[in-house]
Amino acid sequence: MNATATPRLAERDAGSLTRRLVTLIRTKPIQAADLEVTALFTLDAIANALAGRRSAPGEVLLKWAKGRQGDAGRRAFLMGALIHILEVDDLHRASVVHPGCVVVPAALEIGRAKGATGEAVLRAILHGFEATARVGMSVGGAHYKVWHNTATCGPYGSAMAAAALLGLDDDQAVHALGNAGTQSAGLWEFLATGAMSKHLHAGRAAEAGVVAAELAAEGFTGPPTILEGPAGLYAGACPDPDPDAVFRSPESRWQVHATSIKPWPSCRHTHPVIDAALELAPSLATQSVAEVDVVTYRAALDVCDRAEPASLYEAKFSLQHCVAIALLDGKVSFESFEPGARGRAGALRRLMRVRAGEPYAGNYPRAWGGEVAVVFKDGRRISAARTHCKGDPELALSAAEMIDKARDLLRFAGLADPQSVIGPVLAMADGGPIPEIRLL
C-alpha cells in the first residue's frame, strides 16, 4: 500500500460503521473482572471443542484435519467447528450469535503464533465478542430467517480479536473488518435434512477473520463501508437493519457480560421451554396427559418446530422433543437425543402443540422466554413459564457452575484430569500463559 493511501482512507471513512466500531472497542476500558469473566467463557469454548471430538461430525473433521493444520487460520477453523457441534456453547441473545466458537479459536491461534501472553489473548477475546455482538445486533430480525448470524456476523469478531494480537493499527483493523465481512455466509437450509453445515459456519467464521487480519497486516485492503455501503451486508442480506446498534451505548459493559451460557446440549431456542418443562416434570403422570401446549416466540418456531425428529441433530432442534424428554425424564443430557430417547418421547410429542404468542413474541430478542402447559384427561391443567433462560445474564450460572459444566464436558471428552485444562485456562486472567490445547 503506498504512503498516501492510509491517510486518504482515514479521511474518507471517518464516519464508516467499521471505523466507529474499531474506535469504540479500542477506547473501552478493561477491568480485572472483565478478564475473569472472559476466562470462564474461554474455558467453556475450549471444553466444548474437546468434547465435540466425540461426535460423528467431530470424527469427520478430525480425519480431514490431519495434515492440514499448517497455519493459524486452518487451526482456528477446526477448533471453531468443534466448539459448535454439541449445541452447548455460549450465545449472545440480542445478536443471536454464538461468539465463543468464532472468537476464541482466532485469539488462541494468533496469540500462540505471536507468543502473546494469556492476558493479551483474553483482551483480544473481549474485543472479538464486542465486535461480533454489535454487528449481530445491527443486522435486524429478518436476516436470521435465512442467514445464520454466527456465520455472517462472526467474521467481524474473529477479525477484531486477531487484529488486536497482530498489533494492527486502526486503518489496518478497518481493512480487516472489511475483508472479514465480505466473507460473510451461512444459510439455514441445512436444517431441512439435519446436515452438518452448521459446524462449517462456525469454523469458517473463525478462519475468515484470521485470514482477513493477517492479510491486513501485509497491506491488503478491505472496504470500510462493508456494512452500510450500497453493496454491503445490509443491502445484500438485511431487510430491516439497525445500523445504530453498532455503536449504541458505548459506555455499557462489555458484551461478554450480556452473553449466555447454555446448560443443556440443544438449540438455545429450546431452553426456556425446557426449563419450564423441568419444573412440571415431578407432577407429570404421562398416561393421563391429554395435550401439551407450548408457547414461545416466532424465531424459535422458525428454527425448531420439528414434531418428528429423525436424527440426533434434528432432536436438538425440536421444541417438541426437548419439552417431551424434559417432562418424561426430569433432566436433559447428551443421552436425551439418542434414538432410544427419541422413541420414548414420541407419544408425548404427538400430543403437543407449539405456537408463537405474547408476551414472548414481543419480548424477543431482548428476552428469550416461553411457557409449557400440560392438560390432563380429567381437565386439570398445570403450567410453568420463563421470561429468561437459565444461563442468561438475568439467571446467570455462577463461576462454580460454569466450572462444573466445563468439567462435565471434559469428562465427556475422555479427559481423566479435567483440572489440567481448567486450571491453566482460568490462570490466564492472573498472568498465566496461553494453555496448550491439543485437538488432534
Residue 280: give its domain's CATH number: 3.30.1330.120
Q: What is the predicted pLDDT for the residue at 199?
A: 97
Nearest CA-CA partner of 269 in 314, 302, 300, 306: 300
Assigned domain for 392 exists: no
pLDDT at 250 exceeding the cut of 60: yes
Let me know whether 145 and 288 are in one domain: no
Mean pLDDT of the chain: 95
pLDDT at 407 exceeding the cut of 80: yes
pLDDT at 231 exceeding the cut of 60: yes
Rounded distance, CA 266 to CA 17, Å? 34
Rounded distance, CA 18 to CA 24, Å? 10
Q: Give the 3-state secondary structure of residue 327.
A: helix
Give mean pLDDT, residues 79-89: 97
pLDDT at 9 exceeding the cut of 70: no
Split into its structural domains, the chain has a count of 2
Q: What is the predicted pLDDT for the residue at 10?
A: 52
More confident residue, 52 or 14: 52
Let me know whether 119 and 182 are in one domain: yes
Let me know whether 304 and 253 are in one domain: no
Share of the chain above pLDDT 70, in %: 97
Assigned domain for 440 exists: no
Nearest CA-CA partner of 425 in 166, 34, 45, 79: 45
Let me know whether 414 and 367 are in one domain: no
Q: What is the predicted pLDDT for the residue at 48?
A: 98
Which DSSP state fits 2?
A: -
User: CB-side exposure of 72: number of CA atoms within 13 Å?
Assistant: 26
pLDDT at 1 exceeding the cut of 70: no
User: Which pTM value belongs to this model?
Assistant: 0.91
Let me know whether 314 and 369 are in one domain: yes
Let me know whether 208 and 273 are in one domain: no
Q: What is the predicted pLDDT for the residue at 7?
A: 46
* Domain ranges, residue 176: 5-263+399-430
Rounded distance, CA 82 to CA 55, Å? 9
Give mean pLDDT, residues 312-330: 96
Cβ neighbours of residue 434 closer than 8 Å, sequence gap 6 or more: 108, 111, 112, 116, 117, 118, 121, 428
Assigned domain for 437 exists: no
Rounded distance, CA 84 to CA 101, Å? 6
Rounded distance, CA 150 to CA 30, Å? 25
pLDDT tens digits for range 263-298? 999 999 999 999 999 999 998 877 799 999 999 999
pLDDT at 11 exceeding the cut of 60: no
Give mean pLDDT, residues 69-88: 95
Q: Which of 9-23, 126-140, 230-244 has the lowest mean pLDDT?
A: 9-23
Assigned domain for 391 exists: no
Q: Which of 33-42, 142-151, 201-210, 278-287 has the lowest mean pLDDT?
A: 278-287
The sheet with strand 289-296 has its strands ordered as 352-356, 289-296, 370-376, 381-386
Let me know whether 87 and 134 are in one domain: yes
Q: How crowded is residue 129: how many other Cβ atoms within 10 Å of its Cβ?
A: 32
- pLDDT grade for 354, boundaries at 50, 70 and 90: very high
Rounded distance, CA 303 to CA 187, Å? 12
- Dihedrals phi, psi of 212, to nearest 5 degrees: -60, -45
Let me know whether 130 and 33 are in one domain: yes
Let me know whether 232 and 188 are in one domain: yes
Let me know whether 417 and 314 are in one domain: no
Let me know whether 259 and 380 are in one domain: no
Give mean pLDDT, residues 184-209: 96
Give mean pLDDT, residues 396-409: 96
Nearest CA-CA partner of 315 in 335, 342, 355: 342
Assigned domain for 325 exists: yes
Rounded distance, CA 422 to CA 403, Å? 7
Which DSSP state fits 436?
A: P
